[in-house]
Amino acid sequence: MQIARALRSNLNTDERVHLLLMRARVRLKTGRIDEALLDLGKVQSLNSKCFEQPQVLELLADCHLARFELATVGFADRSDTDKARHLYGRILADHPNYNNIGWIQYQLGRVLLTEYRSEEATNCFHAALLEASDVAALTAYCYERLGFIDFYELRQIDRALQFFAKAVDTYPVSEDPYWLVQVHVLRSRALREARRIDEAVSAARTAVEIALTIESRRGLADALLSISETLSPLVDHERETIHFLLQFVQISRKPPGIDVTWARVHEMLGDAYYRTGQHASALAAYEAALNYNPYSPWKMSLYYRLAKSAYQVGEFRRALQALERLVRDAESEDEAIRDHRIFFLMGNSLYALSRFEEAVSSYEKALTLADEDNPDTQQMRHYLRIATGFSRHV
């Protein structure tokens, strides 16, 4: 407000340029990127020579990179990264002794990473570690990005974990703790990939604790999702998984339409509910998972799990509908069903609905898919005999 008020007063050109640059920096930090670029456009019209200064070029480049990163999915404009890359390159070429050259190398590395040029990005991050900068957390930022590349691009998990540990150790205590939440989430995912499950859970718990301390809703949501993904496959951790997932749902904004994250959350909820015998809750969770992502690559598995839950609560018709949808989708995608349990459950659902002839057909299909030594085989034959007997009297 003070800057805006000052800009309305009588100022000479240099004073106005100075205030516009100040406001552009504030707007960049608060995510108002388009307004920051408007201010820089005014600076350009007032004094174009300002854009020979490295700090002004840096500000302009940072704005373009931020606009690309903050754009809604599908609306990011590659011209922003092109401009940012050109401006950072210009600073490196024309002002090699600039006192924030380390930041320029780091930002250029981030631009290159958005263009999938990970080797060049890695070189920039290593160079940034050796250069001067007035950004206190730059060393930690570089280690985090190097770890990111090793984890996601190169699959060098052990080296990635070393970089993440260095990022945590070098991050200044005076800086925003929110950034550490993201690093611990990355550490947890890498540890989970390395099958170091106890450490993965510990890293995720650390992320949750930090997020709760700083009351960061966004950071807490990421941390809760990470710890839930780590705990979800583990036996005897179902109730804790449910607790964290319900926290995620409570603090997150409900999406208006398709959302793969919310679909995954409800899928994990369904699994945890089912394993703890809460079949009605599992049924609702699986239905929500399919509603949030009807195009899930695991939709056939979800239909089967939904059908199992429905069968357990006596919703035989809903179980049958889910299984029939599964079969239709498999046929439409030319995907063969090889799991005998699908037709076994379909037979049981049809039997419960007194549709014995159809049950017989389903049991017969199930038996053709099951190995002779499968534990279900004897039971399926038993049910087939009973259903056959009933079908003759209908």
Q: Which domains does the chain have, with CATH numbers?
A: 136-253 (1.25.40.10), 277-335 (1.25.40), 338-394 (no CATH)
For the ranges 40-49, 106-115, 255-264, 362-371, the lowest mean pLDDT is seen at: 40-49
Ranking 83-92, 272-281, 345-354, 365-374 by mean pLDDT, the lowest is 365-374
Average pLDDT over residues 206-213: 92
State residue 1's pLDDT score: 56
Tell me what percent of the residues of the chain surpass a pLDDT of 70: 96
Nearest residue to 267 via CA among 283, 248, 289: 289
Q: Which three-class secondary structure string do you get for the chain?
A: CHHHHHHCCCCCHHHHHHHHHHHHHHHHHCCCHHHHHHHHHHHHHHCHHHHHCHHHHHHHHHHHHHHHHHCCCCCCCHHHHHHHHHHHHHHHHHCCCCCCHHHHHHHHHHHHHHCCCHHHHHHHHHHHHCCCCCCCCHHHHHHHHHHHHHHHHCCCHHHHHHHHHHHHHHCCCCCCCHHHHHHHHHHHHHHHHCCCHHHHHHHHHHHHHHHHHHCCHHHHHHHHHHHHHHHCCCCCCHHHHHHHHHHHHHHCCCCCCCCHHHHHHHHHHHHHHHHCCCHHHHHHHHHHHHHHCCCCCCHHHHHHHHHHHHHHCCCHHHHHHHHHHHHHHHHHCCCCCCCHHHHHHHHHHHHHCCCHHHHHHHHHHHHHHCCCCCHHHHHHHHHHHHHHHHHCCC
**Cα 245 from Cα 269, distance rounded (Å):** 7
Average pLDDT, the chain: 92
pLDDT the model gives residue 301? 95
If you average pLDDT over residues 358-371, what whole number do you get? 94
Identify the pLDDT of residue 277.
97
pLDDT digits (tens, 9 = 90+) for 34-68: 999 998 988 888 887 888 899 989 999 999 999 99
Is residue 172 within 8 Å of 134, Cβ to Cβ? no
Residue 190 has a pLDDT of: 96
For residue 171, the model assigns a pLDDT of: 97
pLDDT tens, residue by residue, 150-185:
999 999 999 999 999 999 999 999 999 999 999 999
For 212-221, 223-232, 319-328, which range has the lowest pLDDT when averaged over its residues? 212-221
Quickly state the pLDDT bin for 325 (edges 50, 70, 90). Answer: very high
pLDDT band at 394; cut points 50, 70, 90: low
pLDDT at 8: 58
**φ/ψ of residue 8, rounded to 5:** -85, -10
What whole-number distance in Å separates Cα of residue 188 and Cα of residue 203?
5
Which residues have C-beta within 8 Å of that of residue 253, sequence separation ≥ 6?
none
pLDDT above 80: residue 31: yes
pLDDT digits (tens, 9 = 90+) for 9-26: 666 667 777 888 888 899
For the segment 237-258, what is each residue's pLDDT rounded down to a tens digit? 999 999 999 999 999 999 999 9
pLDDT at position 263 is 96
pLDDT at 3: 65
- Tell me what pLDDT residue 9 has: 60
What's the confidence (pLDDT) of residue 225? 94
Q: Residue 6 pLDDT more than 70?
A: no
> In Å, what is the CA distance from 121 to each residue of 9, 87, 112, 329?
45, 16, 5, 43
φ/ψ of 155, rounded to 5, equals 60, 35
What pTM did the predictor assign?
A: 0.84
What is the rounded average pLDDT of the residues 198-217? Answer: 91
Cβ atoms 230, 192 nearer than 8 A:
yes
- 298: amino acid identity, one letter: W
